[in-house]
């Protein structure tokens, strides 16, 4: 409302239409820029998803635990999980020694036969097998099963043959491109079985420990939870992307053979080795838990496998196992 004497701002219709047209043009340009920014955000999101797929980190869930195809793992997580499996294995071996289904010497020879392919009473210590010797040879026997049949094989299905073929495919891919092999492995493990079937567990044990199984009696039932825990440990190793980026790596386990030389970079003694402390040469008595290496591509043009020890094998030397008695394998 205009008051008498107050000036009134008046614009012509042409000026009004000109201002309105300019406002409409400016609004359309702002809206077009907004749509362009939204499209750019979509393209960036798609690009990030593709990068995550190649790196194997395309699981959007906020969980912190490791699972196949899920969040990445570091060496500290691996060592903790391995320690839990090691305690489970030691507890079972101690239970067998506490309530043996056969004589300690017979159980010792049965395990030794499955480990070395031969065993006779000449391989026994002079006074027969002691509880500590039996406990450690049992741990060595299961350690080899865990290493060769579970960790070093991609346990994707409940078929031994299929798992062996998948492992070979992965080795072939890894030799050509570690990144492609990593993506393939993690995508494959996203559809892997959650646990070993009883049939697969029985097949593995009958193939690897045929002599010992005949002697264990009811203690056979205690092996299944160990293999189930080892299977979960293997899925964590193979199904999760590594931290740090820069290509791809995968894990393999190793078990120093009984009677082999002690290599400090690969083994960790669970008891003092008096021979080594005196500067004498000592050998592996038993391996009570496998070591773990991280395999990556390196060397000239990334054409060679480079192995980095993540966790050293847990070993008892011969002098600690036999109390200074020389008991070579037959």
Sheet with 313-317: list strands edge to edge. Answer: 267-269, 313-317, 284-289
pLDDT of residue 123: 66
DSSP bridge pairs for 313: 267
Give the separation between CA 311 and CA 330, rounded to whole angstroms. Answer: 30
Give the separation between CA 107 and CA 112, rounded to whole angstroms. Answer: 9
DSSP bridge pairs for 250: 295
Give the separation between CA 74 and CA 268, rounded to whole angstroms. Answer: 20
Name the least confident of 52-56, 148-152, 259-263.
52-56
User: Is residue 118 very low, low, confident or very high in pLDDT (cuts 50, 70, 90)?
Assistant: confident
**Orientation of helix 160-176 relative to helix 178-189, angle to 10°:** 150
Q: What is the pLDDT of residues 35-89, one digit of tens each?
A: 888 888 888 877 777 766 655 555 444 333 444 444 456 778 888 888 899 999 9
User: Is residue 27 very low, low, confident or very high in pLDDT (cuts 50, 70, 90)?
Assistant: confident
User: Is residue 97 very low, low, confident or very high in pLDDT (cuts 50, 70, 90)?
Assistant: very high
Q: What is the pLDDT of residues 263-318, one digit of tens each?
A: 888 999 988 877 777 877 888 999 999 999 988 877 566 667 888 888 899 999 98
On whether the CB atoms of residues 175 and 166 are closer than 8 A, the answer is no
Q: Give the predicted TM-score (pTM) of the model.
A: 0.74
Helix (H) or strand (E) holding 164: helix 160-176
pLDDT of residue 67: 41
Q: Which of 70, 73, 78, 69 is nearest to 185 (CA)?
A: 69
Helix (H) or strand (E) holding 16: helix 13-55
Give the separation between CA 280 and CA 273, rounded to whole angstroms. Answer: 10
313-317 and 304-311 strand pairing: unpaired
Average pLDDT over residues 19-32: 82
Give the separation between CA 226 and CA 246, rounded to whole angstroms. Answer: 34
Q: What is the pLDDT of residues 180-222, one digit of tens each?
A: 888 888 888 888 888 889 999 999 999 999 999 999 999 999 9
- Backbone CA torsion sign across 260, 263, 269, 271: positive
User: Is residue 324 very low, low, confident or very high in pLDDT (cuts 50, 70, 90)?
Assistant: low
pLDDT of residue 60: 43
Average pLDDT over the chain reads: 82
What secondary structure does DSSP assign to 69-82, as a single string?
TSS-B-HHHHHHHH
Average pLDDT over residues 224-252: 80
Q: What is the CA radius of gyration of the chain?
A: 32
User: Is residue 254 very low, low, confident or very high in pLDDT (cuts 50, 70, 90)?
Assistant: very high
Query: CB within 8 A of 137, min separation 6: which ones?
Result: 108, 111, 112, 115, 129, 286
Q: How many CB atoms lie within 10 A of CB 65?
A: 10
What secondary structure does DSSP assign to 271-286, as a single string?
S--HHHHHT---BEEE
On whether the CB atoms of residues 307 and 315 are closer than 8 A, the answer is no
- In this structure, the dihedral spanned by the alpha carbons of residues 34, 36, 37 and 42, taken in order and rounded to 10 degrees, is 130
């Amino acid at each position: 409302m205009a008051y008498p004497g107050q000036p009134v701002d008046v614009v012509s219709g042409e000026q009004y239409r000109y201002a309105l047209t300019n406002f409409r043009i400016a609004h359309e340009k702002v809206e077009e820029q907004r749509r362009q920014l939204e499209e750019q955000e979509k393209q960036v999101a798609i690009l990030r998803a593709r990068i995550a797929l190649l790196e194997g980190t395309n699981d959007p869930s906020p969980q912190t635990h490791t699972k196949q195809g899920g969040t990445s793992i570091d060496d500290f997580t691996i060592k903790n999980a391995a320690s839990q499996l090691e305690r489970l294995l030691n507890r079972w071996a101690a239970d067998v020694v506490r309530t043996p289904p056969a004589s300690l010497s017979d159980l010792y020879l049965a395990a030794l036969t499955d480990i070395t392919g031969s065993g006779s009473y000449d391989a026994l210590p002079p006074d027969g097998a002691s509880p500590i010797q039996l406990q450690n040879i049992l741990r060595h026997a299961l350690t080899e099963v865990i290493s060769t049949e579970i960790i070093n094989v991609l346990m994707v299905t409940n078929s031994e043959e299929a798992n062996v073929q998948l492992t070979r495919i992965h080795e072939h891919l890894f030799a050509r491109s570690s990144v492609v092999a990593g993506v393939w492995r993690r995508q494959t493990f996203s559809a892997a079985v959650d646990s070993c079937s009883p049939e697969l567990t029985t097949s593995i044990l009958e193939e690897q420990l045929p002599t010992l199984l005949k002697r264990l009696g009811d203690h056979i039932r205690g092996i299944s939870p160990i293999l189930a825990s080892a299977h979960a440990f293997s899925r964590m190793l193979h199904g999760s992307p590594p931290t740090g980026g820069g290509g791809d790596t995968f894990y393999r386990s190793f078990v120093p053979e009984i009677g082999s030389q002690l290599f400090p970079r690969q083994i960790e003694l669970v008891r003092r080795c008096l021979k080594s402390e005196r500067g004498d040469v000592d050998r592996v008595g038993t391996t009570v838990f496998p070591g773990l290496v991280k395999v990556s591509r390196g060397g000239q043009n990334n054409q060679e496998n480079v192995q980095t020890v993540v966790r050293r094998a847990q070993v008892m030397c011969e002098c600690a196992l036999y109390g200074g008695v020389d008991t070579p394998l037959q």
